[in-house]
Structure 1
Amino acid sequence: MPRREGSPASGRPARILALLGPAFVAAIAYVDPGNVAANLTAGARYGYLLVWVLVAANVMAVLVQYLSAKLGVVTGRSLPEVLGERLPRPARLAYWGQAEVVAAATDLAEVIGGAIALYLLFGVPLVVGGIITGVVSLVLLALQARHGQRVFEQVVTGMLAVLAIGFCAGLLFSPPDAGSVLGGLVPRLEGADSLLLAASMLGATVMPHAIYLHSSLARDRVAYDVAQRRRQGLPPELARGASTRRLLTATRWDVVLALVLAGGVNIGMLLLAASALHGAGVAGTDTIEGAHAAITAALGPAVGLLFGIGLLCSGLASTSVGAYAGAEIMAGLLRVRVPLLGRRLVTLVPAVLLLATGLSPTWMLVVSQVVLSFGIPFAMIPLVVLTRRRDLLGEHRNALGTQVFAGLVAGVVVVLNVALLVLTFTGS
Structure 2
Amino acid sequence: MSTSVQKTLNSERSFWFFLGPAFLVSVGYMDPGNWATSLEAGSRYGYDLLWVITLASLVAILMQLLSAKLGIATGKNLAQMIRIQHPGRSGTFLLSTAAVAMVATDLAEFLGVAVALNLLFDIPLVVAIFLTIFDVLLILWLERFGFRWVEMTILAFVATIGLGYIVELWLAQPQWLDVAHSMLVPNATIFDTTALFIAMGILGATVMPHNLYLHSHQVMTRRQSGVVTPATRLRCYRMMKWDTVLALTAAWLVNSAILIMASAAFHEKGLLITDIDEAYKTLGPLLGSAAALTFAIALLASGVASSTTGTLAGQIVFESFFKKRPVNILKIRVFIRLATMIPAAVAILMSATPLSLLVLSQVILSMQLPFAVVPLVKMTSNPHLMGDLVNDLKTRIMAWSATGIIVGLNIWLLVMLGFESIG
Structure 1 and Structure 2 fold alike (TM over 0.5) = yes
- In 2, the alpha carbon distance for the partners of 1:104 and 1:381 equals 21
Of 157-166 and 85-94, deviating more is: 85-94
Q: Are 1:255 and 2:253 an aligned pair?
A: no
CA contact (8 A) 1:6 1:246 kept: no
CA contact (8 A) 2:28 2:208 kept: yes
Q: SS in structure 1 opposite 2:52?
A: helix
- CA shift in 2, pair 1:281/1:143, >3 Å: same
- CA shift in 2, pair 1:6/1:252, >3 Å: farther
- In 1, the alpha carbon distance for the partners of 2:72 and 2:122 equals 45
Deviations 1:361-418 (A, max 9, x none): 1100000000001110011001111111111111211110110001111110111111
CA positional deviation for 1:168: 3.5
**Corresponding residue for 2:150?**
152
CA positional deviation for 1:336: 2.7
Q: Which amino acid aligns with 2:198?
A: L
**Corresponding residue for 1:415?**
408
- In 2, the alpha carbon distance for the partners of 1:87 and 1:352 equals 31
Match among 145, 157, 169 for residue 171 of structure 1: 169
**Corresponding residue for 2:210?**
209
Match among 275, 278, 283 for residue 264 of structure 2: 275
Q: SS in structure 1 opposite 2:169?
A: helix
How is 1:279-290 mapped onto 2 (pairs within 5 angstroms)? 279-283=268-272, 285-290=273-278
Deviations 1:118-157 (A, max 9, x none): 001111111221222221111112222x123211111111
Q: Which amino acid aligns with 1:83?
A: I
- In 2, the alpha carbon distance for the partners of 1:299 and 1:259 equals 29
**Corresponding residue for 1:111?**
110
Match among 282, 303, 307 for residue 319 of structure 1: 307
What is the TM-score normalised by the length of structure 1?
0.91
Q: SS in structure 2 opposite 1:48?
A: coil
Q: Which amino acid aligns with 2:26?
A: A
Q: Are 1:385 and 2:375 an aligned pair?
A: no
- In 2, the alpha carbon distance for the partners of 1:120 and 1:244 equals 47
- CA shift in 2, pair 1:241/1:147, >3 Å: farther
Q: Are 1:332 and 2:331 an aligned pair?
A: no
CA contact (8 A) 1:388 1:403 kept: yes
Q: Which amino acid aligns with 1:61?
A: A
Match among 325, 342, 347 for residue 357 of structure 1: 347
- In 2, the alpha carbon distance for the partners of 1:118 and 1:40 equals 19
Q: Which amino acid aligns with 1:196?
A: F
Q: SS in structure 1 opposite 2:93?
A: helix
CA contact (8 A) 1:112 1:355 kept: no
CA contact (8 A) 1:133 1:315 kept: no
- CA shift in 2, pair 1:39/1:135, >3 Å: same
Deviations 1:236-258 (A, max 9, x none): xxx44443122111111000000
**Corresponding residue for 1:200?**
201
- In 2, the alpha carbon distance for the partners of 1:413 and 1:372 equals 12
Deviations 1:340-366 (A, max 9, x none): 332223222243222243211110000
Gap regions ≥5 residues in structure 1? 230-238
CA positional deviation for 1:6: 12
**Corresponding residue for 1:232?**
none
- In 2, the alpha carbon distance for the partners of 1:64 and 1:348 equals 27
- In 2, the alpha carbon distance for the partners of 1:385 and 1:175 equals 45
- CA shift in 2, pair 1:37/1:394, >3 Å: same
Identity percentage of aligned residues:
37
What is the TM-score normalised by the length of structure 2?
0.92
- CA shift in 2, pair 1:40/1:242, >3 Å: same
Of 125-134 and 75-84, deviating more is: 125-134
- In 1, the alpha carbon distance for the partners of 2:250 and 2:180 equals 19
Of 113-122 and 345-354, deviating more is: 345-354
Match among 263, 278, 294 for residue 282 of structure 2: 294
Of 87-96 and 21-30, deviating more is: 87-96
Give the superposed CA RMSD.
Answer: 2.0
- In 2, the alpha carbon distance for the partners of 1:95 and 1:79 equals 11
CA positional deviation for 1:5: 11
CA positional deviation for 1:11: 7.1
CA contact (8 A) 2:107 2:361 kept: yes
Q: Which amino acid aligns with 1:280?
A: K
- In 2, the alpha carbon distance for the partners of 1:276 and 1:62 equals 29
- In 1, the alpha carbon distance for the partners of 2:152 and 2:296 equals 22
- In 2, the alpha carbon distance for the partners of 1:107 and 1:88 equals 27
Q: SS in structure 1 opposite 2:55?
A: helix
CA positional deviation for 1:98: 1.0
CA contact (8 A) 2:265 2:286 kept: yes
Q: Are 1:77 and 2:70 an aligned pair?
A: no
- In 1, the alpha carbon distance for the partners of 2:152 and 2:17 equals 11
CA positional deviation for 1:45: 0.5
CA positional deviation for 1:220: 2.7
CA contact (8 A) 2:234 2:389 kept: no
- In 2, the alpha carbon distance for the partners of 1:88 and 1:306 equals 49
CA positional deviation for 1:99: 1.0
